[in-house]
Amino acid sequence: MLRLELPWTEPAELAPRLFGWPGFVWLDSASSGHGQGRYSYISANPISRFRWGDGDFAEEFGGAFRAWRNRFRASVIAGGAPFQGGAIGYMSYDAAKIWMRDFRSRHPDSADDTIEFALYDTVMAFDHFERRLTIYSAGLPGPDKAPDKALAQQRIRAFAEVVEHQDDQSKEIIESSTDWSLSSDQAKYVDHVAAVREAILDGEIYQANIASLWVRKAPSQTSAFHDYLELRKQTQAPFSAFGTFAGRTLSSLSPERLVSMTSEGNVRAEPIKGTARRSTDPERDRDIARALARSEKDRAENIMIVDLLRNDLSRVCQPESVIVSRLCDLEKLPNLHHLVSTIEGQLAPACDVLDLLGAVFPGGSVTGAPKLRAMEIIDALEPAARGAFCGSFGYLGFDDACDFNIMIRTIDHLPDGDRYWSGAGLTLLSDAEAEWAEVQLKAERILSLQSPVAAIQ
């Protein structure tokens, strides 16, 4: 592994210069002041791709994915960025059937079980806290499939030229597409709340996360990217990401981590349950935060998901290593307050990162509990298969370190149009009007984008 340190440049300045490169991806800690927002990563020109889905046999996924990754191995530099190259990609929500064999969707025509990853040998790592920009490259694959120093140097130079090149090009104004239409109305969502409450009273579940779907005509890929540039400034979500893949483009403004793991096997999950709109008035904002922190409904919902994730992690972590290191902690984003908990553990020696992902995917905060029955109720009530929504986007490094978000607040750009979902966790204490208001709150920044965006040409 080679590296080159360069003068600090904001990733938002470099991303437009690299956007046109094949396989462009940006793991974007848009809120660099957030405790989880230390690192961002940009890469392009992957050396290999992996795609699963469209009828592939679920039982063959693990072997196929492990074999693909094992073709590309490299050492990493101690003390460097947590991710220095490896696989970046996403898992669609319906890919859960790989690990949850009893889950069957009633939407076979729209079900999307796609998993797509690409192998990135060269990565730009941005340390927002220390304001350090480092380019890493392993030089894979060399003539004998081993890392090649000359190839690594060549790739680093190509990325360094992008940093050193100062764009002095004109800008073209690209109008954002805003003609979103809602697939179901408030009355339908009120019916969904009633159905979930009935399932809870019948003892089937404790809670379920039910979402509404918005659709619009597909904009150009360039327009989608520049919409993302504007949205990231507004939301400043620490687990944001943008990526171009074979079947779709993803714009994820996610505030939530599904799971991360260090190369030493230290595991962390951080579910969000509890959301409130912030106020521009400081005193009112403090009152809102206090009310959320004391909310019986939101705390109960959060604690239920914490219990679910403790159980999920116990399946793959060492006995008695799973702990709750923080519970219902208040976190602030520019427009929202959240309640966030942290569950930690140590991966068991017999398990690997794929076992970890299988244990926690999809995230309990976006399904409910118990997970399988909640997913069946979600599938029965929602108008279509979720696709990328509530799947995960992230990285899996050469050293097995990983970090994946939950794709909430995510626009799924598909050939036949864009999709955006927004949901709320429903419990016995849920008020239908309040839950509908939360669904709207989580969608408003995305759906209200109207400002023309200047595109670098």
Q: What is the pLDDT of residues 184-222, one digit of tens each?
A: 889 999 999 999 999 999 999 999 999 999 999 877 778
* Domain residue extents for the chain: 2-456
Q: Quick one: tokens of 442?
A: 């989580």
Which amino acid does the sequence have at 406? I
Q: How many CA atoms lie within 13 A of 218 on its CB side?
A: 12
Is 256 catalytic? The answer is yes
Give the Cα separation of 307 and 126 in Å (integer): 34
User: What is the CA angle 104-201-365, rounded to 5?
Assistant: 55
pLDDT band at 102 (very low <50, low <70, confident <90, very high): confident
Catalytic residue among 116, 270, 273, 331: 273
Superfamily holding 2-456: Anthranilate synthase (3.60.120.10)
Give the Cα separation of 98 and 104 in Å (integer): 11
User: Of the ranges 142-151, 161-170, 299-308, 441-450, which is most confident?
Assistant: 299-308
pLDDT value of residue 87: 98
Strand-pairing partners, residue 404, are 259, 394
Kind of pairing between the strands at 257-261 and 249-254: unpaired
Mean local confidence (pLDDT), 418-432:
93
> Residue 20 phi/psi, 5° resolution?
-75, -5
| CB-CB neighbours of 297 under 10 Å | 17
Alpha-helix runs per DSSP H in 269-344: 282-294, 296-314
The answer to whether the beta carbons of residues 356 and 261 sit under 8 Å apart is: yes
For the cut 90, the answer to whether the pLDDT of residue 341 exceeds it is yes
The answer to whether the beta carbons of residues 321 and 343 sit under 8 Å apart is: no
Single pTM value for the model: 0.93
Q: Quick one: tokens of 252?
A: 């994820």
Q: Quick one: tokens of 361?
A: 């995917």
For the cut 70, the answer to whether the pLDDT of residue 261 exceeds it is yes
Which amino acid does the sequence have at 199? A
Which amino acid does the sequence have at 272? I
Coil, strand or helix: which one is 262?
coil
Catalytic residue among 171, 188, 217, 256: 256
> Residue 278 phi/psi, 5° resolution?
-80, 160
DSSP 201-248: HTTS-SEEEEEEEEEE----HHHHHHHHHHHHHHH--TEEEEEE-SS-
pLDDT band at 178 (very low <50, low <70, confident <90, very high): low
Q: How many CA atoms lie within 13 A of 23 on its CB side?
A: 19
Mean local confidence (pLDDT), 350-379:
96
Is 273 catalytic? The answer is yes
User: What count of residues does the chain have?
Assistant: 457
Mean local confidence (pLDDT), 39-44:
98
Distance of CA 169 to the CA centre of its chain: 32
DSSP letter assigned to residue 317: B
Give the Cα separation of 265 and 257 in Å (integer): 17
The answer to whether the beta carbons of residues 321 and 346 sit under 8 Å apart is: yes
Kind of pairing between the strands at 207-216 and 181-182: antiparallel
The answer to whether the beta carbons of residues 452 and 434 sit under 8 Å apart is: no
Q: Quick one: tokens of 100?
A: 């949850």
pLDDT value of residue 33: 58
Give the Cα separation of 95 and 92 in Å (integer): 5
Give the Cα separation of 311 and 328 in Å (integer): 18
For residue range 216-239, list pLDDT tens digits in order.
Answer: 987 777 888 989 999 999 888 999
